[in-house]
A and B are shown apart, each in its own frame.
Chain A
Amino acid sequence: MNKKIVLMGNPNVGKSVVFSRLTGAQVISSNYPGTTVDFSKGMMKIGDQHYDIIDAPGTYSLEPSNKAENVASDILKQADIVINVIDATNLERNLYLSLELLEQDIPVIIVLNMWDETKHLGIHIDNKKLQETLKVPVIPLVALTGEGIKDLVDHIQEVKPTKEIRPTSEEGRWIEIGHIIKKTSYLEHRHHTLRDRISDITIKPLTGLPIAIGIIFFAFWIVRTIGETLITYLFDPLFENGYRPLVTAFAETLPDDFLYHFLISQTYGEIDFVESLGMITTGFYVPIAMVLPYIIAFYFILSILEDTGYLPRLATLVDNIFHKLGMHGYGIVPVFLGLGCNVPGMLATRALETRKQRFIAATLLSISVPCVAQTSLIFAMFSDEKIKGTLSFSPIIYILMVFSTLLILYFIVGYILNRFVKGESPEIFLEIPNYRKPHMKTTLKKTWMRIKWFLKDAIPWMFFGVFLINLLYSFGVIGYLANLFQPIMTTLFGLPGETSIVLISGFLRKDLAVGTLLSFPAGTFSALQLVIIATMLTMFFPCIATFVVMIKELGIPDMIRSALIMITTATIVGIILRIILIGF
């Protein structure tokens, strides 16, 4: 039997980095509490002994206060050995969990992570003395660079439970910690550093809010610039000059129309990568040449925002607004992650404390936070040559119509849900980590991991989606559905029946839906109709990947409620937009 080693510690102490160091496995880590909301499992071998290593979500004590902490205390029950990761710059607070762990009859190794930072901060810890006092191995470590890992590994085989710490009350533990701190550490007086000053101005409302708005706009601008540059100079030339001749040559070798329709295009002549709806044309081009460049740009910028430690400060600044929406400031974190992909956004709602908060956060995410795939396709759609001709204004006006509607809805729906969803909305309670300079290698590695997830997830679904739509086309189902929904679509939203196909394919992938939209002949939709469709496509239902995670997070009864809210909201908003934009 493999022995089980569990990594435990407060949030944001670097457990996941230690985990990657031990197992070689790659997991996402950031500089804010709550990045790990589920456990990851890896393996390592020392001598002949195999070990399972489990990275638990961070917790302040063994009495859990949110869902992620619940996961942590459950995992502890299976542990043969515990590695208690401590933020050495925050010894006192971290020791509470350590004492709780030491009271259990499990072997514990204590790791003093961020050992290098203590020196900058003027904190002196006598790790030898700490080891003598607690009677367990205490190992200084810098997980980011790997310094001290070998020492940790050497101790894993010999560690035994300590009988030194007897179970006591909460008060008793804090008194004990007071003694330990006095014996083993002292704090040098320190002057205000530049880092402290940056920390101050980014969290004070007067300076912090303008800075926040600046950072967000700058971030989006950078994402767009990087994305566009990648498309113009890398992905488009690659497809046009490299892939097009190959596909065209391949198309000519295809023996019959049936295969040609499925793989290449519905129409003949020059292949249009976006509209052709072929598995190896649109199926590749949309995720790789249209979405991937923005995925790369988005996750690179997000990683930097995460690793500096800015997000908790932003959460503090927006706390007031999010309270009106039944959450607290941490609710901004799922939104940020959701703008990349709704799936990690949904998982991040776990760090919220109550069912009410999680329900509202998840529902709002699904209704009005479009993922990169959808956002980039909406941008592409209004800049498409075929569509451009029908626009009376510049494309950006239409794009703004879609996104400002979604933004306003986030607040309105949140405000209403806060009134009607029963349950508590506790106040914010969030640690503000020190700013850290992002470690470029770690940031790039993290970006790469997320890109890989996207590719693994997006390409197969896109393939399947294109295949399915072709199948439906060839059996005439598309035309049938369009006719069937025609009355509803036209009466309610002033849209042609074909819209139903777009909305249905949105369940598979939102970018596929826009691809389907573009495959209809020019003139099927007017520009203002496209605004309504793009908005409703975001709102009315999540894609299947998000849907599955939502069921897991909310449970079936709440998922049904959430889905009803989505469909109702989408219908109402669709009707209102129709009245405003098109008239009766």
Chain B
Amino acid sequence: MTYLKGRAHQKANLGCLTTDARMPFLAHGSHRIRYEISGPETGPAYVLVNGLTQYSELWAAYRDTLVKRKFGIVTFDLLGQGESDKPTLFIGQDDHVAVLRLLIDKLGDRPVFLAGISFGGIIALRYAIEHGDRLAGLVPMSTFSELPPQLALLGNAMRTGLILGGTGYLQDMLLPMNLSDAWLAPLMDKLDSVKRQGWLVNDVYALQNLMESFLDFKPLTPRLHEIRVPTMILNGEFDFLTPRTLHETLRAHIPDSALVIIPRAYHAFTLEKAALTADLLARFASEVLEKRWSGGGAVRIAPEEAGGEITPFPAEFDHLRAIPARKASS
């Protein structure tokens, strides 16, 4: 089923992993998936799943941080993204899960931690539901298990925006929604070059196919209880695209989970706060491997900077509110 192809293949034995990044391709049916494995040959590995308009290079900072902390790192372009093949008309959610399965199978019996952002978070959730026995831990980030009206309407508006205005317009919508003023301000006169690489590697029809692969989205909430692996749910404090309530659904239904709120962060905190997020990923995996992890449905607050203390959300307050409202007594 799988074959390897690509520039790196000519000089690399891809059966084993080395400290150098590899850029081979994996086959899913007739389609090629570009992936990259970095880091130690053995031991735990993180598999990182892209959001809709991402491409695997955007995880570069994670690669550097996590490899230093002895994790293998697997990144890839989803079917329809970046350097992976772009099916002309039809992509299904099942295809994404199948690709993830092929990729994780390549890691043999290493402990695998799976993290996905937004669109990629859904794929990670589905994988954990269907193949959770292969995972050591799960990190859904800025994601959701069902489509409430606000998100469904926003999704439709984005699709329409893509159709009428192209990738550039979609980027114009997403940048201010997903990133903070602090991140955007110094880049205001360079936004075109910030957007250019994403515009170059993403084709309108392929993005549209990716979006449409979620039109028949079946809510995952009824199956979340099947996820038995330790799960750290990450949600930006100011994420209004996928707000707290959507992550609360994950926390409430995934048995061994904890919700960690990233201060002052928006939907795309993996991009904006890469050092902090990579640190949280490494700490979570270490706690799981050393059997120190306890989800217990906790709600926690991440530190402002990497290495800081993770604190419990004050028990008397309601973490679903934006103002310090006390919890309703049950």
Q: Do A and B come from one complex?
A: no
Q: List the interface of chain B (C-beta within 8 A of A).
A: none
